Structure 1
Amino acid sequence: MNDMKPASDIGLYFDSWDETFKKPFGAIERNSKVDFKISFEPTISSKINRIDMELFYEDKKMFIEMNYDSEFYYISWKFEHIGLYFYRFVIYIDHHRYFLGPEYLATGGLALIYEDEKAPSYQLTVHGKIEKVPEFYSEGTVYQIFVDRFSNGNENGQLLDIKPNSYIYSSWEDTPSYIKGPNGEILRWDFYGGNLKGVIDKLDYLKQLGVTCIYLNPIFLARSCHKYDTADYSKIDSMFGDEELFKELIEKAKNKNIYIILDGVFSHTGSDSIYFNKYNSFSSVGAYQSKESKYFSWFKFKNHPESYDSWWGIGDLPNVNEMEPSYLEFITGEEGIVAKWMKMGIKGFRLDVADELPEEFIKILRKRMKSIDKDSVLLGEVWEDATNKISYGERRQYMLGESLDSVTAYPYRRTLFNFINREISAQTFYNICTMFKENYPKEYYKSALKMIGSHDVQRAMTELGSEKKFLLAVTMQLLFLGPVLIYYGDEVGLTGGKDPENRATYPWDSYEHLGFKYEYKTNPRKNLNVFNHYKKILEIRKNESVIKKGNVSYLVLSNRSIAYRRFDDKNEIFVIANSSELSEEVIIETNSKKYVDLLTGEELFVTGDRLELIIEGESSRIIKRMQ
């Protein structure tokens, strides 16, 4: 026997995605039972000496001998502890030991047979009580705004304020760039002049798109254009406006059933802040200036004042000790920063670099949010599978209850792009999506924020390299399960590489900048084909309840074609995607008689139990069951 091959090759069969063999599917709540079964062929039954389930939980390991009958080896087991369990099966055949497990750790699916005791294990997520994520978010369309680059609502396009040692782009259409020193440090920060009044002015536009939630990149006082170097958590940056303007934005957005989420940057501050005050910009005594500063204990100095712990070694971003009592109270206390902005009417926070925040800090912060507004949302920036993420040697508890309500679904983006770029097959796409569906608790699988763009990655149009591929990605993203994110400007086809190119200004047809008025009949930076496609897909998302509320399953139709089946008790929609350059004929087996193409209106009739369709290369079709 070779070291790794399908278990079926020796007459054994287990599949964690098939409820014949593991029931229920996926993650479970604490104190639930799971039934495990391994089937075997009659020719091997007499050779099996014993099968054990090997179970791992934290640093504990146990072996549980399985029972058997004429069809299966089986065991029913109650999982009493919250956390991640890992399991595999130990097979004794003719007094030789083998292992039954997935292809890779925690990937799930069909079992392989191994001889090496280093064989991987399946993952089982056991969670506590999980509160339902509010529908404005879990079924919503989130629009991300990098405020300086979105819209300037001031008369004549003038700036509200100008920061020292900065530069202002003479044209709203200039390509963003940095002025850097010899060591890569930013010498002068760059600004275009976008502000909160500009966001207010565009609320009607966002409402027409179908936006239910606005996620604002940081808006607190800071030296930079991106504002991740917070200078004062209690103040709106003067280039963006003030508290009264922010209250107006919250109220006017709420009147349109649009809610605001802020970027919470709590793992570090700016070096140019009232807390650190490296450049003597503030009247307060900062931690850099004196060990007697009331903020000194917030930071991690190695050799005061010049040597200190900072985010990824960037001196402008000194790290804080989040669990230091006075900092914890300042951020999460009854009269703290979180409470201040929550009471003003925001609906939650997106936690920047959640992996670098202590788990207890996240739980305390969330508890404060929920005490003010039980329907608020805590979103975490997480780049990997959030169920088994290990950060700084600690297994994170994001998906076990009482922590995050949602995470950024960067793995979905990566998988989607790999499929569209033909780097993985439809079967691999299916496997990865099903793996996440198995690992995540059902509520969190839905609430993960599906995205194709953000301020931290290349523009999707640029990364995918063609308009056809981009439109395919848009369709697949916007009609998937749960909340979706539109990064400002993606809906009109903005391009751009990595930071700062991915942070260009929104190409409005009419705007004012620094006293000059600009109007376009044909806007060279705005792709109308992309914009019209977004509007069509978002209209389907808005009108078809099964897209927002229904379930999802996947069908592999060929090596390059995949389908999402969005369904509930009454409705069914297929989103069919072909990543090949060539057209493909696909077949969907169905008991229904008639479908309609939601993009073209074409009626499609089933022959027998087969619906035959042509899908153009690098394109998609959206078909709805009619009878």
Structure 2
Amino acid sequence: MFMEAINHRATNPYIYARDKRTIDIMLETKKGDVEAVELIFADPYDFKGDQWQYKTKQMIKTGSSQLTDYWKVSVQPEYRRLRYGFQCMDKDNTKIIVTERGFYKTIPSDIGNYFCMPYLHENDIFQAPDWVKDTVWYQIFPERFANGDSSLNPEGTIPWGSEEPSATNFFGGDFQGVIDHLDYLSDLGITGIYFTPIFKAYSNHKYDTIDYFEIDPQFGDKETFRRLVNECHSRGIKVMLDAVFNHSGYYFEPFQDVLTNQQDSRFKDWFHIWEFPVKAEGYPNYDAFGFVASMPKLNTANPEVKKYLLDVARYWIEEFDIDGWRLDVANEVDHAFWRDFRNVVKEVKPDAYILGEIWHDAMPWLQGDQFDAVMNYPFTNGAVEYFANQQMDSQTFADSITNVLHMYPQNVNEAAFNLLDSHDTARILTMAEGNKDLVKLLYVFQMSFLGSPCIYYGDEIGITGGDDPGCRKCMEWDESKQDQGLFRFVQRLIKMRKEIPGFGNCAKFRFLVIDGNTVVYQKQAGEAELIFVLNNSDQAKSIEVEALSNRKAIELFFDQEVLQEEAKVKIEAYGYKCFQLHN
């Protein structure tokens, strides 16, 4: 047995409280090395004489990559305390006991050897808002969605869609334009809108804030925004705003004061300034977003800065009843600030959604004391590279998604923000080189995965665009230029996600078959069981799916009842099937 490959620590994501009674535990072993794993567990004080009254429970293999098998189990300790270890058995019936202090051939009697969960405290449990799990998001870049009030157009605004997007051009998108098209979003099935920044700023992207308490005048005023939020809520649509708290803009008043008064400015400690005089051109002599001089980094450890930004967080919820904050460059802001941010937001609106922009493993921010979710770029990378880019084989794709599922606790996965593209990336149709069959496979996978999916505005009608600024095109409102077939396809997937048990969130996911360019995965939620077959190639396939052998099912995309007398499933090029199994 490869004991050096056995991995567990008494911390997330290896052990966590799923709810106030249930503890989930995970162990990693070398792929194919271990045949069975049992959890050894009991209350640390449960003794009869000098005998610890431990129990055992079989663990379930929940996924495998090319290197690792993942084993999980759930237990409900009576007194919410736990000491535990693992008994691993290989094909030769060799048994190894895994403890915090090392490996044993027999079960140790001293409980000091075992891993420990001292106590399950309810206020330590990761808890994201329940409504997020059923939300389908739509990301809107306000300057490019719709121009509903031309009187607000900034100077130099050009006709809608008359040019390719650039870093400096303006087309006049505004709140009224969004209000005018809310029925379109409702018809698609959208239940949440994520707006990139709406506050007063210099640029067309608005990530260089001038005033965090004011709406940018090109979008409208506060009353129009209030009406927008109310119109969204009346349709069952949540509203999430973008908080750019890592850095301000060049024209932010405190930074302008620093430029004017230099070391005599009372705001000099609001920023991370290396030396005076401050140079705000070229390569800056202060911390900034990247090395962009017009985006000076805020010192969130400064009490005045912290109070200012926390007042911002409170204001937009109290005054306009927004439902969440997306936090820009969240990993570059200190953890202490985010803990205080969460306390303020949850005090005002306990079910507000707090979403961090983090592109890498974000477990330190997902302990229940900071964010409810992060933008799930590890999911994005695997899905896009496999389906759209065709740069990843099926086994590597399955490994990447299996690793994503096991890098966070299950209750974290259920709140994850699963995007395919955004204002920061090329659009999926462009990445797929115009192949809409690949885009459809992407959407099937996204909408049938765990978490909270997000559509970038216009993708549902076939808008293209390369990396920023190409991905920030004007929305196409001429129906003759929209791909209505793609719209109906996405609309149907959203409907299936909402209505079919097991199709969407809060279900168990695992890959069943990896065969060439075809993947088969299972979704289970209670008694509901679905099996998806996706063919990511330009050739028709016939694939063995033992889980379907001699099973009655309904193929949901074609609404056909089938009896799989044999395990073979025939699937066309770039095809997709979903079998809803009868008990």
2:130 is aligned, of 130, 135, 147, to 135
Aligned-residue offset at 1:159: 4.3
2:494 is aligned, of 516, 538, 558, to 538
Q: Does 1:150 align with 2:145?
A: yes
Aligned-residue offset at 1:398: 1.2
1:293 is aligned, of 265, 268, 274, to 265
Is contact 1:377–1:405 with CA below 8 Å preserved after alignment?
yes
| Partner residue in 2 for 1:459 | 427
Q: Distance in 2 between matches of 1:19 and 1:469?
A: 28
SS of the residue corresponding to residue 423 of structure 1 reads: coil
**Superposed CA RMSD:** 3.3
SS of the residue corresponding to residue 168 of structure 1 reads: coil
Question: Please, which moves more after superposition, 412-421 or 145-154?
Answer: 412-421
Aligned-residue offset at 1:368: 0.5
Aligned-residue offset at 1:22: 7.6
Q: Does 1:372 align with 2:348?
A: yes
| Partner residue in 2 for 1:563 | 520
Report the residue type matching 2:294 in the other structure. D
Choose between structure 1 and 2: higher helix proportion.
2
When residues 442 and 137 of structure 1 are mapped into structure 2, their CA distance, relative to the original with a 3 A threshold, is same
Q: Distance in 2 between matches of 1:10 and 1:449?
A: 32
Structure 1 length normalisation: TM-score?
0.76
- For residues 195-237 of structure 1, give each alpha carbon's deviation from its aligned partner in whole angstroms, at most 9, with x where no partner exists: 0111111111111111111100000000000000000000000
Give the aligned length.
517
- For residues 314-371 of structure 1, give each alpha carbon's deviation from its aligned partner in whole angstroms, at most 9, with x where no partner exists: 0010011011000101111xxx111100112001100001110111111111110000
2:301 is aligned, of 309, 312, 323, to 323
Q: Does 1:191 align with 2:165?
A: no
1:404 is aligned, of 331, 353, 371, to 371
Aligned-residue offset at 1:240: 0.4
Report the residue type matching 2:521 in the other structure. Y
SS of the residue corresponding to residue 306 of structure 2 reads: helix
- For residues 417-462 of structure 1, give each alpha carbon's deviation from its aligned partner in whole angstroms, at most 9, with x where no partner exists: 2322443333332322222222211111111111111011110111
| Partner residue in 2 for 1:342 | 317
| Partner residue in 1 for 2:558 | 600
Question: Please, which moves more after superposition, 306-315 or 372-381?
Answer: 306-315
Q: Distance in 2 between matches of 1:27 and 1:308?
A: 51
- Once superposed, which parts of structure 1, at least 4 consecutive aligned residues long, lie more than 3 Å away? 4-17, 19-35, 40-45, 51-55, 79-82, 285-294, 421-425, 590-593
Q: Does 1:309 align with 2:294?
A: no
Q: How does 1:152-231 map to 2 (within 5 A)?
A: 152-154=147-149, 158-163=150-155, 167-178=156-167, 189-231=168-210
SS of the residue corresponding to residue 383 of structure 1 reads: coil
Is contact 1:596–1:602 with CA below 8 Å preserved after alignment?
yes
Is contact 1:425–1:560 with CA below 8 Å preserved after alignment?
yes
Is contact 1:287–1:294 with CA below 8 Å preserved after alignment?
no
Structure 2 length normalisation: TM-score?
0.81
| Partner residue in 1 for 2:575 | 619
Aligned-residue offset at 1:263: 0.3
Q: Distance in 1 between matches of 2:186 and 2:31?
A: 56
Aligned-residue offset at 1:128: 7.5
SS of the residue corresponding to residue 143 of structure 2 reads: helix
Q: Distance in 1 between matches of 2:33 and 2:307?
A: 60
- For residues 505-528 of structure 1, give each alpha carbon's deviation from its aligned partner in whole angstroms, at most 9, with x where no partner exists: 10002xxxxxxxxxx6x22xx223
Q: Distance in 1 between matches of 2:294 and 2:31?
A: 58
| Partner residue in 2 for 1:489 | 458
Report the residue type matching 1:490 in the other structure. D
Aligned-residue offset at 1:303: 2.0
Aligned-residue offset at 1:566: 2.3
Aligned-residue offset at 1:403: 1.1
- For residues 377-426 of structure 1, give each alpha carbon's deviation from its aligned partner in whole angstroms, at most 9, with x where no partner exists: 10011111222xxxxxxxxx212111110111111111112322443333
Q: Does 1:418 align with 2:410?
A: no
SS of the residue corresponding to residue 547 of structure 1 reads: coil
1:442 is aligned, of 405, 410, 428, to 410
Is contact 1:550–1:566 with CA below 8 Å preserved after alignment?
no
Question: Please, which moves more after superposition, 435-444 or 478-487?
Answer: 435-444
Identity percentage of aligned residues: 27
List gaps (5 residues or longer) in structure 2. Answer: 7-28, 38-58, 64-68, 108-112, 280-284
When residues 547 and 44 of structure 1 are mapped into structure 2, their CA distance, relative to the original with a 3 A threshold, is closer
Is contact 1:287–1:299 with CA below 8 Å preserved after alignment?
no
SS of the residue corresponding to residue 370 of structure 2 reads: coil
Report the residue type matching 2:491 in the other structure. K
- For residues 525-548 of structure 1, give each alpha carbon's deviation from its aligned partner in whole angstroms, at most 9, with x where no partner exists: x22332222122122123224334
Is contact 1:426–1:556 with CA below 8 Å preserved after alignment?
no
- For residues 550-601 of structure 1, give each alpha carbon's deviation from its aligned partner in whole angstroms, at most 9, with x where no partner exists: 4132222413222332222232222221112211112332487422222222
| Partner residue in 2 for 1:504 | 473
